[in-house]
Structure 1
Amino acid sequence: MQILLKLVLDCSADAAWDAVRSPRGMQQVSAPLTTFESLEPGGFPPTWSAGEHTVRISSFGGVTVGDQVIGISYPEREDDVRVQVDTGRGLSGPLALVTKWQHSIAIAPAPHGRTLYRDQLVFEAGALTPLLWLGYWAFWQWRGARIRALAPSWEAHA
């Protein structure tokens, strides 16, 4: 199944890209519904590097949902669109029920110093896919609202 967001943000593409590449940005747009704890030695890096990053995910005030690998890549493109792809996988709990995970975020300049933000999740979980889709869809709407609200503050940190 697929979930899509397409937003125009009130910040520059550089500021949005910095937020997308930051574990802190992920935490900001997910809070307080979902929290992430790094399971890597030394905790979260300042910026996501390509490769695998293991996290523990909690929801609803601290209930552990499970552990997940965030598998980051940055596909090369020949235009001014920057893309981050997560093809991670769940390691435990309900997250391990998901058999396919591809979360792609694309950032491109928009007129007047704004940013076109496109966010796509494609996932599969067998017979549970429609049920999980409802939860992910609701969470993606929350993320979209948080992203819009936070984008102007990203400009100050760019």
Structure 2
Amino acid sequence: MRVQLKLILDADPFDAWRAVRSPAVLRELYSPLLELDPGGPVPTLWEPGSMDVTVRGAGVVPIGSQRIDIDFDLKRMPGVRILVDSGRPLTGPLSLLEGWRHQMAIAPAPGDPTKTLYRDRLDFGGPAAALLWMPMWTMWQWRGIRLKEMAPHWAFEPVRPEQETPTPAS
């Protein structure tokens, strides 16, 4: 089964790439519906490797645990960067799923390189996949709404140095 998004985000691809690698952005993305708790320190940006997190609904209702297993695909196509999470649900209802593979691709938007073409795809299988497809699809639609809301605020610097206008000398 598959759920996916294809969006144009109002963010520079550089800023979008940094955002999808940020655990802080991930926490904000799912808040307030879900809270992801790693139970310890998290990196500023994801690097290849894995981390287990506890998932709580509204920050209080235990839903289960999830392994996040990050890698990057930076060579498939020039100008496209892909974050790949091949982790999996460990406990809770989603642990009935198998073959979890989540990919987020970042590229300059066609016709406007100041915006981002964002593609987000989750492939999963297992005996409960058909039953859980609709809740996953619903979550992915909500995820798309949140990404569009958050993207304009991802710029690390409001103006890139090459865009600054000099201030007049006094």
- Give the TM-score normalised by the residue count of structure 2: 0.86
The answer as to whether partners of 1:15 and 1:157 remain within 8 angstroms in 2 is: no
Seq. identity, %:
41
Equivalent positions of 1:8-157 (< 5 A) are 8-39=8-39, 42-77=40-75, 78-110=77-109, 111-126=112-127, 128-156=128-156
Residue 141 (structure 1) shift: 0.6
Residue 156 (structure 1) shift: 4.3
Counterpart CA distance in 2 for 1:49 and 1:156 is: 19
Residue 71 (structure 1) shift: 0.6
Give secondary structure in 1 for the equivalent of 2:93. helix
Query: For residue 38 of structure 1, what is the amino acid of its counterpart?
Result: P
Give secondary structure in 2 for the equivalent of 1:74. strand
Greater mean alpha carbon deviation, residues 112-121 or residues 56-65:
56-65
Greater mean alpha carbon deviation, residues 91-100 or residues 6-15:
91-100
Give secondary structure in 2 for the equivalent of 1:96. helix
After superposition, what is the alpha-carbon deviation per residue over 1:79-104, rounded to whole angstroms, capped at 9, x for unaligned?
00000000002222223211110000
Q: Return 5+ residue gaps in structure 1 as ranges.
A: none
CA RMSD of aligned residues (A): 1.5
The answer as to whether partners of 2:101 and 2:123 remain within 8 angstroms in 1 is: yes
Structure having the higher helix fraction is 1
Q: Return 5+ residue gaps in structure 2 as ranges.
A: 159-170
Aligned residues: 155
Residue 34 (structure 1) shift: 1.2
Counterpart CA distance in 2 for 1:34 and 1:74 is: 25
Counterpart CA distance in 2 for 1:87 and 1:75 is: 12
Counterpart CA distance in 2 for 1:6 and 1:152 is: 17
Larger Rg: 2
Residue 30 (structure 1) shift: 1.1
Runs of 4+ in 1 over 3 A off after TM superposition: none
Counterpart CA distance in 2 for 1:112 and 1:98 is: 37
